Structure 1
Amino acid sequence: MTEGGKKRLRQPRLAEIVASSLRSRILSGALGDGDLLPKQDELLAEFGVSPPCIREAFRILETEGLITVIRGNVGGAVIHVPKPSTAAYMLGLVLQARKVPLIDLVDAMRLLEPACAAQAARRTDRATTVLPKLRANIDASLAAVDDPSTFIGLARAFHTELVSGCGNETMSLVVGALEKLWSAQVDELALNKSVHGTFADRSVRLSLAQEHERIYRAIAEGDPLTAERAIREHYTGGGERRHGFDTDITVIAESLKP
């Protein structure tokens, strides 16, 4: 409809206004993870709306994964602050729905992780942030070199630690979601003793640890170009393809379900 030749703007529903206000409190930290939203009577008094409006606002927030409504006499709405694992799970659902093969996920990390390595090498505080965790991981990997299952998990954790410590929150979240999703695939498939693939060969495990050492050294020296090249060569040489399982299967999102 028009009025005076101008389009009439649609007013947001009251439930959406209530949901938006509560969402802002959750995302701002005013309401913490695991806390309860105010009781319905309190919200009715605060917003001056009807009970169905509050219930609809709760439904909106529950659909977004920000709350879980517990019904009953002692019920309430439990708050869930968004976490990186949630982002990884939702991304996994989209990839699984599109039947994206695992090799596509690996290729995405091959393109994006070198930038994280370069960023980590640029960190002026790398000696106290990312480097200690990478050092501890490499040492633990070498100590577990005769245990393929433990080694595979640690080898994956090296990449997770690298991305999470790159120093750029957006890159850490986005690339970290891919890392978490891939690690879940490894946990689901490659840690099965019957599918260790080339990791069953001790020399391959040692070679992988040496590649991680080279990446570590480049970051420690503050050399972003060498760090980026080392990660790229790691992938090109088969770093994430040596798990030995069929990377043409579809991404499995359920393995990351919160």
Structure 2
Amino acid sequence: MELDEGAGPSGGSPGAHAARNPGAAAVVSVRVPKMAELVVAQLRRQIIRGELLEGDALPSETELMQRYGISRPTLREAFRVLESESLIRIRRGAHGGARVQPPTQRVAAKYTSFLLEYRGVTLRDVYEARVALEVPRVGDLARNRTPADLATLRESLERHAAAEQEDPHLAIKLHGEFHMLVIRLADNGTLLLLSEMLQDIIDLGNVSLHADAEVSEEEARTAAVRTHRRLYDYIVEHDSAAAESLWRRHLEETMVYLLGDNAAMTVSDLFD
């Protein structure tokens, strides 16, 4: 049966027909995807599934037009959508073309920050979400850690300690990486992604709030290294309760230290 979006069986409007026949099924308008959307869906699926790898050049415009039976404007519309999703990057010019750029947590953090901006979420709220995500993962790691996990943590601690002596800026970066390492070793990919997204927003906040400040005070950095080492000891001992308690205190103290009087700022303030 062919659907007519403009009229019911007797030529009247769908609403009028339904009013005369209360038991009649409503006529549903079905939107047919544009060709550009179908091409986007196909290429997006190949990128996400790893069939197209990072840096791979997409086939030429001529080849893609022939493959999908589309015009050049339609193909370029599809490219604009994929580029806006950060799934490809396009180089213009004689030697240009489209190359694959797989999705990253930074892209996810960018769009998440838009939603947080729109909802007026405060920076304190973001930090508290970080605490809620990280603390249980520390307990999981303490209960389930392997010899390989311990070796990875030791290596990270050694790099961090060496950076404290030689490069304070690198030490700050390694401090954040240790937090993400703990989540990664707890082996939950979804929570890792959420934590990375929050960490990206927090890093942006730290840069915005402390742009004119010196590198974090040496005493605070040294205290952070000591905390990380104590956490490692608790993980070695399978002491999940002590690990969670220590990490909660560490994260909450860090939140107070970094936010200062800016806890009520919203995520949108970082982008003004």
What TM-score do the two structures reach when normalised by structure 2? 0.76
**Aligned position for 2:22:** none
Asked if the contact 2:169–2:215 (Cα under 8 Å) also holds between the matched residues in 1, the reply is: no
**Rounded Cα–Cα distance in structure 1 between residues aligned with 2:165 and 2:95:** 52
Aligned counterparts, 1:134-153, within 5 A? 134-143=153-162, 144=164, 149=169, 151-153=171-173
Aligned to 2:254: 239
Deviations 1:44-84 (A, max 9, x none): 22112222221221122122111123333333112110012
Q: Which residue of 1 aligns with 2:45?
A: 24
Query: 2:148 is paired with a residue of what secondary structure?
Result: coil
Residues 148 and 21 of structure 1, relative CA distance in 2, 3 Å threshold: closer
Give the corresponding residue for 2:32: 11
Distance 1:163 1:187 in 2: 23
Alignment partner, residue 169 of structure 1: 189
Q: Hey, what's the Cα distance between the residues in 2 that align with 1:115 and 1:48?
A: 52
State yes or no: 1:226 paired with 2:226.
Answer: no
Q: CA–CA distance in 2 between the matches of 1:112 and 1:160?
A: 11
Q: Is 1:119 equivalent to 2:135 in the alignment?
A: no
The percentage of aligned residue pairs carrying the same residue is 31
Provide the aligned length of Structure 1 versus Structure 2: 247
> Mapping of 1:27-38 within 5 angstroms?
27-38=48-59
Residue number among 201, 206, 210 corresponding to 1:181 in the alignment: 201
Cα distance in 1 for partners of 2:236, 2:103 equals 32
Unmatched segments (≥5 aa) in structure 2: 10-24
Amino acid at match of 1:180: D
The answer to whether the aligner puts 1:90 opposite 2:111 as a matched pair is: yes
**Structure 2 residue 74 is the aligned partner of structure 1 residue 53:** yes
- Matched residue SS, 1:91: helix
Question: Aligned-pair distance for 1:30?
Answer: 1.1
Q: Is the 8 A contact 1:165 1:172 kept in 2?
A: no
> For the residues of structure 2 that align with 1:140 and 1:191, how far apart are their CA atoms?
25
Deviations 1:204-228 (A, max 9, x none): 4443333222222222233433322
| 1:22 CA drift (Å) | 0.9
- Which stretch shifts more, 76-85 or 63-72? 63-72
CA separation of 1:8 and 1:150: change in aligned 2, threshold 3 A? closer
- Match of 2:233, SS state, is helix
Q: TM-score, normalised by structure 1?
A: 0.79
Relative distance call for 1:135 and 1:188 in structure 2 (3 A) is farther
More RCO (CA 8 Å, sep 6+): 1
Tell me what 2:130 maps to: 109
Q: What stretches of structure 1 of length at least 5 have no aligned partner?
A: none
The DSSP-based 3-state class of the residue aligned with 1:128 is helix
| Offset at residue 139 of structure 1 (A) | 3.5
| Paired residues of 1:117 and 1:227 also in contact (CA < 8 A) | yes
